[in-house]
Amino acid sequence: MEKYKNKYRIKSNRLKGWSYANNGLYFITICTQNRECNLGFIENNEILLSDFGKIVNKEWYKSFDIRDELFLDEYILMPNHLHAIVELANNDVDIDGEKTVGRTMVDGAMVETNGRSSLPQMPECQPKSISSFISGFKSAVNSKIDDYIDAHHLKIPKYNRKNHFFQPNYHDHIIRNNTSYQNIKNYIINNPKKWEADTFNPKNPNSDK
């Protein structure tokens, strides 16, 4: 892990040369800070949300209600992370003089449209991009949880730019074909059933700590 100004920083997982405003399907993973299990717990292979988890869940769905270019395909909220398949469909994005065609079906499943990975990298938080969506979602979660902390007079630190509820970075994967789509979708659906062996589970000896 690299250091920046004598502090550890996470290397970016963004794909070099790919514009995250390009249309397509994205597999997204976001973890809580320090992978703290404060979103809920698994019981009988199902997630039971904490109050913080309910706030996160509400803000996640709200993100799609207020963004016309985003569609939620699959999603699961786990004790310390979330997984989702998100479709970005900017029908009016102009790429090299071409209009993107929006949603595309391949073998019965939606996969990436005509965004091209050879395009130059766009600004990290370009409007109507995956990056701007996640940035807005995280900011909303920080604000709503801070309101909850105030309302319930909790003796815990509030969240801000220096104290994030979620890890500053996130992981994404561009879904390029139907096989990948089906595998990822099944992984998300079955995630609660496999929590004990999950590498995100801090109680798992083989967890990625």
| Residue 83 structural domain | 10-194
Lowest mean pLDDT among 4-13, 143-152, 182-191, 192-201: 4-13
DSSP lists the bridge partners of residue 48 as 41
Whether residue 209 lies inside any domain: the answer is no
pTM across the whole model: 0.76
How far apart are alpha carbons 140 and 189 in whole angstroms?
26
> What number is the average pLDDT over the span 115-134?
58
Number of domains observed in the structure of the chain: 1
Residue 45 in tokens: 């292979």
In one-letter notation, the amino acid at residue 168 is: P
Does residue 59 lie in a domain region?
yes
Distance, in Å, from the CA atom of 126 to the CA atom of 140, rounded to the nearest integer, reads: 18
In a domain, 165, yes or no: yes
CATH number at residue 85: 3.30.70.1290
Q: What is the pLDDT of residues 89-103, one digit of tens each?
A: 876 544 333 433 344
Whether residue 202 is contained in a domain is answered as no
Residue 116 lies in a domain: yes
pLDDT in tens, 142-157: 999 999 999 999 999 9
Task: Please give the mean pLDDT across all residues of the chain.
Answer: 79
- Name the residue among 60, 71, 68 with its Cα closest to residue 134: 60
Say if 95 falls within a structural domain. Answer: yes
pLDDT computed for residue 187 by the predictor = 97
